Amino acid sequence: MTFSSGFNVLSGLHSLGAVTVGTPSAQPPNNFGDMLLFELRHTGIQAGVSHKWVVAFPDDPELGRCLEPQVPLTFEYLAASGFDPNTEVLLALEALQSHR
């Protein structure tokens, strides 16, 4: 039901200068969040309405649309790995070695 817990850690680490690796999050940094869930009494329809505007990068509207990793996982890299499900972890370990 939420991307925000993991994304908050990512955006916080990014703001502290961490190198990010992988694929962009499905959640934009600047977004609506925190759903109020409800059910309509007569129809039973369930719905939700966001009640918070989250702004992770107020001074950078482009970064606020998408937090692109500094070391992206490209299709070419993934294909070269034979589509190994551990490819992102291996890419992160390579990035760690090269950014020391």
Let me know if residue 89 belongs to a domain. yes
Q: What percent of the chain has pLDDT over 70?
A: 96
Domain that holds residue 86: 4-26+56-98
What is the value of pTM for the model shown?
0.71
> Per-residue pLDDT tens for 8-53?
888 899 999 999 999 998 889 998 888 899 999 999 999 999 888 8
Which pLDDT belongs to residue 37? 93
- As a whole number of angstroms, the distance between CA 64 and CA 50 comes to 18
Q: How many domains in the chain?
A: 1
Taking the C-alpha atoms of residue 14 and residue 8, their distance in angstroms, rounded to an integer, is: 10
Band of pLDDT at residue 62, cut at 50, 70 and 90: very high
